[in-house]
Amino acid sequence: MGAHSSLRGADLDGAWDVDAQGRLRPTIALRRRFDQLLGLLGEATLEQIGAFIEHDVRELAGADAAQGVIDVWQRYLALQRHHFQSPVSLQDRSTWAPAFAERQQLRRQILGLELAQAFYADEERQFAALLQGAPAAGATTAIDRSQLGPEALARLQREDAAWADWERRLAGARAELSAAKDLSEAQRREAIDRLLARFDASEAVRVKALLHLP
């Protein structure tokens, strides 16, 4: 990572979670660390972030542990890049169950059961309870919106809407990119430029990384 990287000298969220023998222990802390690193896209490339992970874990627990974490990182990236077939709209409850089922299945398929449960068990339990209209047992991190004041509730609703809008626009970009695969190189370049123009600068960097754009 470069000398001006946000990682230099900073405390990372989460943990690598490898034991003294270099064995990976899948936990939500590893996912939190991955998510923080993904947030650095724009300041660093995926290749630089991967190199940082490999170096940091190797220094902590050796080469075998580093390779294990890199393998999980690559699978996590594959999950982030996956084109889900079931769209989800926060305003349309009928979209929630099929979207949840597809995401749950793909998490297990791409990450493996142990990692998928470590990364998403609490989140999936909370969402399953939401689908059933019941409170999630043991879900201490869920937000009880009935206890929020008007300003906090409005802010949370804006965040929900922004996330749904991001997913919608990313899915649209992925679909357009797929449709452009038979174009000439010049036409495809123009299509990519038009596609990226719909995102702000920081979003465009993340779109390019997730969709493997030049």
Q: 16-25, 62-71, 84-93, 203-212 — which is least confidently predicted?
A: 84-93
Report the pLDDT value the prediction gives residue 136, as an integer from 0 to 100.
43
Domains held by the chain: number:
3
pLDDT (average), residues 156-185? 72
127-145 pLDDT, tens digit each: 777 677 644 444 434 455 5
- The tokens for 75 are 């699978």
Same domain? 133 vs 202: no
Q: 9-18, 33-42, 184-193 — which is least confidently predicted?
A: 9-18
Same domain? 64 vs 93: no
Phi, psi of 195 (to 5 degrees): -65, -50
Beta bridge partners of 44: 41
The answer to whether 29 touches 17, Cβ cutoff 8 Å, is yes
pLDDT (average), residues 48-72? 89
The range of the structural domain enclosing residue 59 comes to: 1-81
185-209 pLDDT, tens digit each: 777 788 888 888 888 877 777 777 7
Report the pLDDT value the prediction gives residue 185, as an integer from 0 to 100.
78
Same domain? 180 vs 212: yes
Q: What is the model's pTM?
A: 0.61
- The tokens for 69 are 């974490």
Report the pLDDT value the prediction gives residue 193, as an integer from 0 to 100.
84
Same domain? 4 vs 74: yes
* Contact partners, residue 34, CB within 8 Å, separation at least 6: 14, 73, 76
Same domain? 120 vs 185: no
